[in-house]
Chain A
Amino acid sequence: MAIWQFVGKRVANYFTVSTTTFRSLRPLINGDSSPVNIFGYRRFESSKAGQQLDLVSSDDDEEQNQGVDFPGGRVGFTSEMSFLHKSSKKRVQCYRVLDDNGYPLSSSQYQHVNKELAVKMYSGMLKLQTMDTILYEAQRQGRISFYLTSYGEEAISLASAAALSGDDLIMPQYREPGVLLWRGFTLHEFVNQCFGNRNDYGKGRQMPIHYGSKKHNYFTISSPIATQLPQAVGAAYSLKMDNKDACVVTYFGDGSTSEGDFHASLNFAAVMEAPVVFLCRNNGWAISTPVTEQFRSDGVVVKGQAYGIRSIRVDGNDALAIYNAVRVAREMAIKDQQPILIEALTYRVGHHSTSDDSTKYRPIDEIENWKTARNPVSMFRKWVQRKGWWSDEEESEFRANVRKEVIQAIQVAEKTEKPPLDYLFSDVYEEVPINLIEQERLVRETVKRYPQDFPKDVPM
């Protein structure tokens, strides 16, 4: 720790300027030294942003020493008129632990992951991929109406979920079923929601992939983009009031960062000092809109600083990097009661959803490249296998088993009863009000009178 006192303000200034300093800090060893201490000495700095930022940069022009206490803090003056650059010359660098071949970079700081955790993470990624493949096919066969895959982003959802505790509240966008998978949602539960049958926790009221599970602290997915962001801040506010040892983690894509809710949520979270981790899956595409048409800033990570939030850019295809970054972010969020922004750079290998054909707006070889060369699952596999924790036989066996399980779950779900008619009217309010009772009665009458015009398999 003495190093920190020596380096002191210098590093402090660098730290607020860019996250590249991270790599020049003393490397973490073997998980014993708590990484939080490294950040701990700058606790509360963000909340005193206006007051404690140095007036003087490296120049010692005496004019600069005269400042004025404007509302919001003391500001120094300069006689040189210069506009801030619209972006820094160098892009914010990306934190990674493993290289393209799954070898840990020697200089990377990361906490060691044990075999159990690594295997659980990897097998979770495989399970997610297999589940996605089969359910996508099921949609193509007309068995379910819609599906959305997580190809290319398996590492983000599984590794981030692995870094959290079960008490942390998850407010997802829609491309994070991996988090739910980690938390123990069974294949049956997933498939039931996609088929909208009687066993669906959502009681057949939402489109496929709009999962929600209170017992897993996974808030029901709502289709409009970015609506979960202010809700996450509200949930964090609730945790803060109750002083809980938990945080809220909310996921969203690059497209969501254009929504007004994104900006207000970051702003609120910073002002309120709410324990939220904002995890942006910057996968390069918002349906057919590439990020170059979405924003002109250096990605999403720089926006965090604009709101006074600690931010980091992470390689989203590197499971260990995600794991470490989320773990540290979570600790910071809870201990220091402040929001953190993580930008996970990745690529959306699949189409946006089953309603999309992405080959129409992007080159096929680009998709192929990301699918093979920088695939998160294969990158992590290399690392896990090299450690001797996984083998090719286990791989094929596991894949075959999951495939069988998913197909079996589909078969069961298809045969399961659809939700009964009264599910149409319940839960609109706490108790069914008179007008809805009346409307239900009318529906039943109509169905009784014209049974041939209505589906037979809906239980009345």
Chain B
Amino acid sequence: MASIFQVIGAATAAVSSSTSFDTKKFQLCSRRSVSERKSSFVVVKASGSNRIGSRADQLVTNAVATKADTPPAASKPGHELLLFEALREGLEEEMERDARVCVMGEDVGHYGGSYKVTKGLADKYGDLRVLDTPIAENSFTGMGIGAAMTGLRPIIEGMNMGFLLLAFNQISNNCGMLHYTSGGQFKIPVVIRGPGGVGRQLGAEHSQRLESYFQSIPGIQMVACSTPYNAKGLMKAAIRSDNPVILFEHVLLYNLKERIPDEEYVLNLEEAEMVRPGEHVTILTYSRMRYHVMQAAKTLVNKGYDPEVIDIRSLKPFDLYTIGNSIKKTHLVLIVEECMRTGGIGASLTAAINENFNDYLDAPIVCLSSQDVPTPYAGTLEEWTVVQPPQIVAAVEQLCR
């Protein structure tokens, strides 16, 4: 089973994600969550990737019970694209819409970005608006902050999230803080994005999970995308938000293919995504681990379990509304993450759930995360640091006993 995962994109696992939102629930969500943005929603049934092992896809489609409350309202069939293309599409639409949006980072201009997210944009908008910077992360992040305070809306790209550790000073001391310390006079509508997470033998320095380091910084928001659909929607939402937003992408998810709507849509930054409704156990996950969880979900369904899988998407703040509703239904929680055991998103989420929903839990929360070790280069060792579907299956079985 693990070998299927070796395929780049790891798209075999998931992917019949029917994001049907009950409109009433959505309105409630909007009122309680920060943003007043009205997202126009289109119910999308994402098709699986046409990769090796797509037989497994058909299995998923049949096995996973999808609760589609409303019939697909999409009038147009939509178009298929890869995740990095979805990011680019979102970025391009926003640059078209608002002349103040600009991009800065290493190799984003003529080269088109290391992961091709900004391909073609420099030709279209010029190399001032899509700016190639010298290699100084703290400084070009600082530059983005200065530009934002002066009225622009920059998107700062870190070639790899790990390099943004160099920008920690600017992000923590200035990006998150200046709106507050200036008494609201200066706002910093930046989007800081880049690929992170454990890749394919990239070594420890290129496999950092920055969300655990950044989650404490007051003043910033963090979101993690996992599908082309939510990548585009979150990118657009992040750009339109006046708060500084850190958008976490994953190195291995850039080539995921999905069919997304043609019409414009913007997702809610503070909302979690219901990937697979269920009754027995709530599995909370985000980014790449979503696919490992869905892979495990297949096995679990075959064994008779009915897991509810939620992609939390919003890492700061947590969407405790969706999560809480799920816990009230299932009473069992499993968190599957890629962060280290100590101080990761899972650790914070565990604390938050325990504080707020302790009464609803039948058993202690189980959190599956990577070990507290630097990610090794050797392929087998690397595989063992990342949570794999069999572990998830075992954890659910243990929880449900």
Contact = CB atoms under 8 A, between A and B. Distances in A.
B136 A267 contact: yes
Contact of A430 (B140, B182, B218, B241): B241
Contacts of A427: 179-180, 183-184
A260 B146 contact: no
B179 to A, nearest CB: 5
Nearest to A205: B181
Contacts, number: 165
A264 B150 contact: no
A169 B181 contact: no
A43 interface: no
B287 interface: no
Contacts of A265: 139, 142-143
Nearest to A210: B181
Contacts of A261: 136, 138-139, 142
Contacts of A231: 142-143, 145-146, 149, 174
A227 B173 contact: yes
Interface stretch (B72-80, B126-134, B374-382): B126-134
Contact of A224 (B143, B151, B169, B187): B169
Contacts of B183: 200-203, 205, 212, 220, 427
Contacts of B3: none
Interface string A123-159: 0000000000000000000000000000000000000
B215 to A, nearest CB: 12
Contacts of B146: 171, 228, 230-238
B139 A434 contact: no
Given A235-B150, A237-B147, A239-B150, A213 B218 contact: no
A326 to B, nearest CB: 20
A210 B181 CA distance: 9
A223 B130 CA distance: 30
A203 B145 contact: no
A64 B318 CA distance: 67
B317 A220 contact: no
B221 interface: yes
Contact of A235 (B133, B149, B179, B243): B149
A263 B135 CA distance: 11
A200 B180 CA distance: 13
Contacts of B150: 169, 234-235, 238-239
Contact of B182 (A212, A237, A268): A212
Interface in B136-184: 136, 138-152, 154, 169-170, 173-174, 177-184
A428 interface: yes
Nearest to A232: B146
Interface string A195-226: 00000111101100010111000011011100
B277 interface: no
Given A224-B169, A430-B242, A435-B317, A234 B134 contact: no
A240 interface: yes
B251 interface: no
Contacts of A220: 178, 181-183, 185-186
Contacts of B242: 430
Best-buried of A171, A227, A234, A435 by chain B (most CB within 10 Å): A234
A222 B172 CA distance: 12
B34 A234 contact: no
A230 B170 contact: yes
B142 to A, nearest CB: 3
Nearest to A427: B184
A428 to B, nearest CB: 5
Nearest to A215: B185
A233 B152 CA distance: 13
B102 interface: yes
Contacts of A272: 131
A420 to B, nearest CB: 13
B174 A434 contact: no
Contacts of B144: 234
Contact of A229 (B34, B133, B142): B142
A434 B33 contact: yes
A200 B182 CA distance: 10
B94 to A, nearest CB: 16
Contact of B142 (A169, A230, A236, A434): A230
A398 to B, nearest CB: 31
Interface in B169-213: 169-170, 173-174, 177-187
Nearest to B36: A431
A403 to B, nearest CB: 28
B270 interface: yes
B401 interface: no
Contact of B131 (A230, A237, A264, A431): A237
B303 interface: no
Interface in A405-419: none
Interface of B: 32-36, 102, 128-129, 131, 133-134, 136, 138-152, 154, 169-170, 173-174, 177-187, 218-219, 221, 241-243, 270, 317, 320
Given A214-B186, A237-B131, A237-B147, 16 more contacts: A202-B181, A222-B178, A232-B146, A234-B146, A234-B147, A239-B150, A241-B152, A260-B139, A264-B136, A265-B139, A267-B134, A268-B139, A268-B143, A426-B184, A430-B187, A433-B34
Interface of A: 169, 171, 200-203, 205-206, 210, 212-214, 219-220, 222-224, 227-242, 260-261, 263-265, 267-268, 271-272, 426-435
18 contacts: A169-B150, A205-B180, A214-B186, A228-B146, A230-B141, A231-B174, A233-B142, A241-B102, A241-B128, A260-B139, A261-B142, A265-B139, A265-B143, A428-B219, A430-B179, A430-B187, A430-B242, A434-B317
